[in-house]
Amino acid sequence: MSIFQIKQKKSGAVLWTGAADSEQTALDAMAREAGYRDFSSLPDTIRADGIEAAKLDLIS
């Protein structure tokens, strides 16, 4: 598992940070914590501003 951070591209707001197996499972986890079934269930207005998932490499 890796740590992912999901941000809204336009505002730079961090929407979610947590462990997931892939970018898609991270996006789905973020959506579930916000009360949606999965990422594709998020309203278009949220997804329209652009959302990016970055894998954080925390090993030094």
pLDDT digits (tens, 9 = 90+) for 34-56: 999 999 999 988 888 799 999 99
- Within its chain, how far is the Cα of 12 from the centroid? 12
Cβ atoms of residues 36 and 44 within 8 Å: no
For 12-22, b/e burial (b = at least 16 CB within 10 A) is: eeebbeeebee
Cβ atoms of residues 4 and 53 within 8 Å: yes
- Tell me the pLDDT tens digit for each residue of 9-36: 988 999 999 999 999 999 999 999 999 9
What is the pTM (predicted TM-score) of this model? 0.86
